Structure 1
Amino acid sequence: MTKIVELQINNYRGINSFYQRFDRDVICLVGRGDSGKTTILEAIKSVLSPVWNLSFYDTDFYNLNADQPIEIIASLSHVPEKLLLEEKYGLWCRTLCRETGVVIDDISAGDISVLTIKLTVDKALEPKWTVLNGRREDEIRISAGDRSKLNCFMISDFIDSHFSWNKGNPLNSLLKLHDVSADKEKIVLDAIREAKEKVDRADYAHFSGVTEAIKRQAASLGLNLD
């Protein structure tokens, strides 16, 4: 499973500058209200977002200063092998030194491969996702499809959205954890179609009284519901 080993946030919402190195599997953020805990989680959600049209506003810039771009940089270990292929982002791969716990640009045998993704948003409010490596002068864009392979999702108090199958939602992400094939994914569609057929065949006679009352009220207002 992909892990965040380093996180840097600049000029994002209530955070002017933030840097943290992570060396544990489970991280707990503790602090008073309005101290930036949710902002950190939202930053992680944004830099690893599987959607291409993420919306940003002037209020997302620290102190509303859109002249300073938003920068969110996450270094990830244990990323899917397909993202480390040479034709993908293998040439931009970095490593996590096992002894020091520091991410370095050079590739070192025996250390852990790392991919560093950077999200930049300037005053045009157009997000740009790239893969970084200090030993290269160029940056390479990482697509929404490839970011979706990281399978990141955020569980919050917006409960309704967690029970849909959209990109980045928990149900869809958990399904992908098991590398479900296209044939098995078809099970969900078949279940939805079967449910619709049963609904279409259902007897709605118990709603007839309500329906007639609505029609009578509509007719008194001059509406024709035929």
Structure 2
Amino acid sequence: MLSAPGAAWDDPAAALASARHEFGEHGGVNMSIEASTTFTVMEPEIMRRIFTGELCPDRDFIYSRHFNPTVLNLGRQMAALEGTEAAYCTASGMAAISSVLMEMCSSGGHVVAPQTLYGGTHSLLTHFLPTVCNITTSFVDIMDHAAVGDAIVEGKTKVLYLESMSNPTMTVADVPKLSRIAHDKGVMVVVDNTLAPLVLSPARLGADVVVHSISKFISGGADIIAGVY
């Protein structure tokens, strides 16, 4: 989720309640789940305009890999929850995390991250990114702010990645302080807020991008794998 500086947002529950609500296709109080992968387009000119980005994705769908009404609505709700400009849904939390990091870091890039991280994220930073993408990571004690600042390499470090509440140690990061340290050095801040939805709002505290594993508290029932950023 991309932070939106200056956006009007006070309380996550109130923001979620006041967000645009989609009713079901036949008037259901809940939105209908769209199972189609492909959508009909009756006019060739509309097809052209969709592919050139002229039409609104809220209404004009062609293929679910691009936009899907159900997923788009979930993204809208997550953006309302976090007070961000937009939110993009993925197939898993790790898909969201890897998408963000590979978008923000090119070959030769550097990440600073906590020593205590969700295991999948630690593996991504330790094994996949350095060997496949030439993106390295320095792991630090996220509570030692001086060490965080020292680990940032000018001109090379692109991202300070952290968890608002770490999984599984439950360490609470000082997001405002860490964001200031990173921004003073020209580094973007990505915060995984999976364990603290409705409790913390990283975008309001200085984070540039917020990620979630929807598989945890957002889904609530341990029956969904999804992610969002």
TM-score range, shorter chain: under 0.3
TM-score where L is the length of structure 2: 0.22
Larger strand percent: 1
TM-score where L is the length of structure 1: 0.22
